[in-house]
Amino acid sequence: EAQVTQNPRYLITVTGKKLTVTCSQNMNHEYMSWYRQDPGLGLRQIYYSMNVEVTDKGDVPEGYKVSRKEKRNFPLILESPSPNQTSLYFCASSLVQTGEQYFGPGTRLTVT
């Protein structure tokens, strides 16, 4: 089954404790992206990647890191999480030329 998976789905952590949210897709998509969703603000892009070893900042990259060592994986790293990073995070992927973006199930992160 074609899908985008994220782990964990729910995470409660404390300020400053490094964490990684994994994202994997099995559709051989070149393009992958991370978004955060906050009430009243819609979806805001954090980072995106056009292909392996090619990443770029989105609209809200501060406090986040990403890497794209393999085509299928695009982990999101929070090296020192803060309470303002409490949010619902979505990973997404697509073929570069089609534009149809497939979203993962989301990861709800709470930083206390």
Partner 1 sequence: GENVEQHPSTLSVQEGDSAVIKCTYSDSASNYFPWYKQELGKRPQLIIDIRSNVGEKKDQRIAVTLNKTAKHFSLHITETQPEDSAVYFCAASKTGTASKLTFGTGTRLQVTL
Task: List residues near partner 1 by CB under 8 A.
Answer: 31, 33, 35, 40-45, 48, 50, 58-59, 90, 92, 94, 96-101, 103-106
User: Of 40 and 69, which has the nearer Cβ to partner 1?
Assistant: 40
User: Of 62 and 82, which has the nearer Cβ to partner 1?
Assistant: 62
Shortest spacing between CB 111 and partner 1, in angstroms: 21
CA angle 32, 62, 95 (to 5 degrees): 10
Shortest spacing between CB 7 and partner 1, in angstroms: 15
Residue with tokens 């309470």: 83
Cα→Cα distances 53→3, 46, 48, 67, 96, Å: 22, 17, 11, 7, 15
User: Of 28 and 80, which has the nearer Cβ to partner 1?
Assistant: 28
User: 36 pairs with which residues across the strands?
Assistant: 44, 89
